[in-house]
Chain A
Amino acid sequence: MKILVPVKLAIDSNAKPRLKADRSGIDLANVKLSINPFCEIAVEEAVRLREAGKATEVVVVSVGVGKATDAIRSALAIGADRGILIEAEGRVEPLTIAKLLAKVVEEEKPDLVLTGKQAIDDDSNQTGQMLAALLDWPQATFASQVELDGAELVVTREVDGGHQTLRLSLPALVTTDLRLNEPRYPSLPNIMKAKKKPVETKSAETYGVDLTPRLSVVEVREPAARKAGIKVADAQELVSKLKAVGVL
């Protein structure tokens, strides 16, 4: 089985995003960027399937400008075999990414696409579902457990209220939730080795996909600030405050 893992370079989960003064977006200059945490979980799962002898090759793909290679290198250091960078400038929407990925799937013919459930920058939670739709593949989103059973995949999903288990025919698309696994820290030798693994660069234009965004961003502003709170000394005072706000 061959696995394709789309990955994204996003703001580091511990970094605090700052708005640009002209309200056009978030200022990403001098901000730490990392592989999106959910993508990291997807890479880890793919590598585990290969280590278990269930997958033969793990290919990672990212869409973006030169820096996006950092996400690919992180994935290669976890254990992916090779990378593909699709160069595209500016804001690329989930639908466009899904269309580009569909072309990569045509070329690479993976049996499974494993990707994160959402990117922590635009919080869309769309790309995987859209790719599955374009390919007419089954999808299992928000996966917390993935097992290969012959030519089928048994996936447990995190849903509101609990868990749901589905059986999918292959090829299939799975998006990862937080509890699927705990990604390993790449060792220094593996980081060095990752630098030698092949990364092919392609231009988005060659795929004939229209990159024009469908949504225009009118403005990006800060959420309303909360007014400063107070501190109480003990449980007794907290009870009287609770009464004052009408909880009791």
Chain B
Amino acid sequence: AEHDNAALKDATLSAVTAASQLGEVHVLVAGSGVGGVADAAGRIAGVAKVLVGDDAAYAHGLPENVAPLVVGLMEGYDAFVAPATTTGKNIAPRVAALLDVAQISDILSVEGPKTFTRPIYAGNAIATVESSDARLVITARGTAFAKAAADGGSAAIESIATTGDAGLSSFVGAEIAKSERPELTSAKVIVSGGRALKDAETFAATILPLADKLGAAVGASRAAVDAGYVPNDYQVGQTGKIVAPQVYIAVGISGAIQHLAGMKDSKTIIAINKDEDAPIFQVADIGLVADLFQAVPELTGKL
């Protein structure tokens, strides 16, 4: 389970759905002071058992400490499934190498007991792959699997022996942005801005009022992040976050393949761009060719 020691992350719910397509699901909660998280994991519909490894060494999800715990447990399991978040991507390959199995990244679907689909080449192709390994190590794309219900389960909670601190790495600090807005990867509506927003102030003045009107999360293209308009965790794309909201509004984003890789599974895509040849219009369901500095405030005003 992915968590911050206090609360369970939504990403876990999608991973439970992916895992349930393979067999009985047990959730591992490794962390420090994670009683509350374990209780929450036990209430997820479809979870049969929760294993709790409570140790200060797991507090920050350091892979050097968490991977040996997982590897020790894998004697009794056929598959390890993690959400394809930065935490999952950090730990799962380390687990796989220690088990001497291939890892299957970012799966989109379970096609058979050992057969999965996954995107390659920035989502320009979908590969169906079949594993020949005895055990599976998988990360699952959050937007590709429905979230398991957070309530309704009543799994047994069991404490397990911990493996301690490997002594290779330590946590110094973290800067996690606090936001009142919905989380990008689980938002129903996303308003995203690109390079055309000019600077941080203009980005905020143009995009935020529209996002507020729609109760939307705010995203950005790589260009907008590189230019310093918004922090890096706003980035949507091949190397940023993968999102699939009901509505994705791309404002001043040209639509490079690396950006499309992160949002083209959105249900409805709306593009506002003054360049009618911008590639974003090839994936947009609704396009408005206009100067965003006029069109966006006008749109915000009419909502």
Interface residues of A (CB under 8 A from B): 11, 13, 16-17, 19, 26, 93-95, 98, 117-118, 120-134, 136-142, 144, 154, 157-169, 172, 177-179, 213-223, 226-227, 229-236, 238-239, 241-242, 245, 247-248
Q: How far, in angstroms, from A144 to B175 measured CA to CA in the complex?
A: 13
Asked if B199 lies at the interface with its beta carbon under 8 angstroms from chain A, I say no
Residues of B within 8 A of A121 (CB): 120-121
1/0 contact trace for B150-177 toward A, CB 8 Å?
0000000000000000111111111111
Least CB distance, A155 to chain B, in whole angstroms? 9
Name, among B93, B214, B288, B302, the residue most crowded by chain A CB atoms within 10 Å (CB to CB).
B93
Tell yes or no: B67 within 8 A of A by CB: yes
Q: Which residue of B lies closest to A219 (CB)?
A: B128
Of B16-24, B29-37, B45-53, B81-89, the one touching chain A: B81-89
Verify A236–B214 contact, CB threshold 8 A: no
Quote the shortest CB–CB distance from A198 to chain B (angstroms): 30
- What are 22 pairs between A and B in contact, CB < 8 Å? A17-B125, A95-B102, A125-B89, A125-B93, A126-B96, A158-B232, A160-B85, A160-B86, A162-B231, A165-B173, A165-B174, A167-B169, A215-B104, A215-B129, A216-B132, A226-B283, A230-B285, A231-B281, A234-B295, A235-B288, A247-B189, A248-B303
Residue in contact with A245 in the complex, picked from B96, B257, B268, CB distance below 8 Å = B268
In chain B, positions 57-98 with a C-beta closer than 8 Å to chain A are 60, 62-64, 67, 85-87, 89-98
B121 touches A17 (CB 8 A): yes
Could you list which residues of chain B lie within 8 angstroms of chain A, going by C-beta atoms?
60, 62-64, 67, 85-87, 89-98, 100-106, 115, 119-133, 166-177, 185, 189, 214, 222, 225-226, 231-233, 238-239, 241, 246-247, 257-258, 264, 268-270, 272, 281, 283-290, 295, 298-299, 302-303
With A13-B258, A221-B125 given, is the CB distance from A215 to B239 under 8 Å? no
Does B281 contact A229, Cβ atoms closer than 8 Å? Answer: yes
User: What's the Cα separation between A169 and B289 when bound, in Å?
Assistant: 53
User: Contact partner of A94 among B102, B171, B303, CB < 8 A?
Assistant: B102
**C-alpha gap A23/B55 in the complex (Å):** 48
- Check if A160 sits within 8 Å of B241, measured CB to CB: yes
Q: In the complex, what's the smallest C-beta–C-beta distance from B172 to chain A, in angstroms?
A: 4
Distance (whole angstroms) from the CB of A29 to the closest CB of chain B? 15
Q: How far is the CB of B281 from chain A (nearest CB, A)?
A: 7
Determine if B298 and A235 form an interchain contact, defined as CB atoms under 8 angstroms apart.
Answer: yes
Instruction: Check A129/B172 contact, CB under 8 A, given A26-B121, A215-B130, A245-B247.
Output: no
Of B123, B169, B189, B258, which contacts A166 at CB under 8 A?
B169
The answer to whether B101 touches A163, judged by C-beta atoms less than 8 angstroms apart, is no
B119 touches A123 (CB 8 A): yes
User: Closest CB-CB distance, A248 to chain B, in whole Å?
Assistant: 7
Say which residue of B67, B125, B233, B285 sits within 8 Å of A222 (CB atoms). Answer: B125
A235–B297 Cα distance when bound, in Å, is: 9
With A235-B302, A248-B303 as known contacts, state yes or no: A179 contacts B170, CB within 8 Å. no
Cα distance A246–B104 in the bound complex, in angstroms: 36
Let me know if A17 and B124 touch, CB within 8 A: yes
Bound complex: CA of A126 vs CA of B85, how far in Å?
A: 13
Q: Which residues of A contact B284 (CB under 8 A)?
A: 229
Hey, which chain A residues are within 8 Å of B166, CB to CB?
Answer: 138
Measured between alpha carbons, how far is A226 from B86 in the docked complex, in Å?
A: 28
Q: Is the beta-carbon distance between A215 and B125 smaller than 8 angstroms? A: no
Q: Which 4 A-B pairs have the closest CB atoms?
A: A129-B93, A130-B97, A138-B168, A133-B97
* Residues of chain B with a CB closer than 8 A to A214's CB: 101-102, 131-133
Q: Report the bound CA distance from A187 to B172 in whole Å.
A: 39
Question: Smallest CB–CB gap between A203 and chain B, Å?
Answer: 23
Residues of A within 8 A of B86 (CB): 141-142, 157-160
Find chain A residues with CB under 8 A from B241 CB: 160
Are A132 and B119 closer than 8 Å at their CB atoms? no
Query: Considering the chains assembled together, what is the distance between the CA atoms of A26 and B247 in angstroms?
Result: 31
CB distance from A121 to the nearest CB of B (A): 6
Chain A residues, CB < 8 A from B87: 159-160
- List, in ascending order, chain A residues with CB within 8 A of B103's CB: 94-95, 124, 126, 130
Known A159-B87, A161-B177, A161-B233: A232·B288 in contact at CB below 8 Å: yes
* Residues in B neighbouring A245, C-beta threshold 8 A: 247, 268, 285-286
Instruction: With both chains docked as a complex, state the minimum distance between the C-beta of B17 and any C-beta of chain A, in angstroms.
Output: 19
Q: Which A residues are CB-close (under 8 A) to B115?
A: 218
Known: A129-B63, A214-B133. A123 touches B173 (CB 8 A): no
CA distance A123 to B96 in the complex (A): 17
Q: Which residues of B contact A215 (CB under 8 A)?
A: 102, 104, 129-132
Complex CA distance for A185 and B272, rounded to whole angstroms: 34
User: In the complex where A162-B177, A162-B231, A169-B169 touch, is A220 in contact with B127 (Cβ < 8 A)?
Assistant: yes
Q: How far is the CA of A217 from the CA of B118 in the complex (A)?
A: 11
Contact B94 A226 (CB under 8 A): no
CB pair B104–A139 under 8 Å, yes or no, is no
Q: Is the pair A247, B172 in contact by a Cβ cutoff of 8 Å?
A: no
